[in-house]
Copies of this chain bind each other. A is one copy, B any other.
Amino acid sequence: MRSGLVSLLTDFGPDSRYVAEVKAVLLAPAPGATLAVVDLGHAVRRHHVREGAYLLRSAVRSFPPGTVHLAVVDPGVGTERRALVVQAGGHLLVGPDNGLLWPAACSLGQPEFRELVHPDLRRTRVSATFWGRDVFAPAARWLALGFPFEDAGPPVGDPVQLPAVPPRREAGRLQGEVCLQDAFGNLSTNIPGEWLADLPECVWVEAAGKVHAAWQVRTYGDAQVGQLVVLVGSDGFAEVAVREGDARARLGCGPGDSVVLRA
């Protein structure tokens, strides 16, 4: 009995029938095998490839090697953009060639890209508007069931990358970008968590043109209710939070905005 795990990220919206149609393809019974699907999120803002890319990157390492990550934020559906499968760190990622898979793939290891062209990997009839169901889902399914990565299609040497400003580390000063916000208003950055060791217990947070005092803590419960804190988030990156409050509202910034943490 073969078993496999597929994660699913889209911008189709919560409670979308399109998500159901993708899962119908993924979960069609296969003799001697069971797949399970985990929703990584469907509330990515429509066509926000960057938001989807960071969400994917933040979660992939919680999945075991062997997982196939299917991601569809695809403003170019039905046009000439390529369909990709990526192998990195023992994981596979499937989606459009628009940068969506890039940050997650790099965070997992040295990525190897192939174009999804093998005819067995797609539906015989492909609709022009729903590659998620007709191209990406069948490919993810067959790859999860053991179809060899090398047979998916030719290597791709020039996958589309997201323009990214890497985080900067100077004496007592860390500069980066807010990548994600969660339902609690916690802000996740692209500043590696271990860099926080450069800073003292009390740090300054610069964001949206203002400066705020914050405390470095190990966990939310170490702060007072309402206190602004900086800590290593569960994804390994520096996170700005307010205990039982909303850092996004406090700082007035969100994904894509610049943030500085300094002594």
Contacts and interface: CB of A to CB of B under 8 A. Distances in A.
A148 interface: no
B15 A41 contact: yes
Contacts of A15: 14, 39, 41-43
Nearest to A193: B127
Interface stretch (A27-35, A109-117, A255-263): A27-35
Nearest to A30: B3
A171 interface: no
A38 B59 contact: no
Contacts of A165: none
Interface string A18-54: 1111011101111010111011111100110000000
Chain multiplicity (copies): 3
A183 B14 CA distance: 8
23 contacts: A5-B27, A7-B20, A7-B24, A12-B182, A13-B183, A14-B14, A19-B39, A20-B41, A20-B59, A23-B38, A24-B63, A24-B64, A24-B67, A27-B36, A27-B38, A28-B63, A46-B244, A62-B133, A77-B219, A79-B219, A128-B219, A129-B231, A133-B234
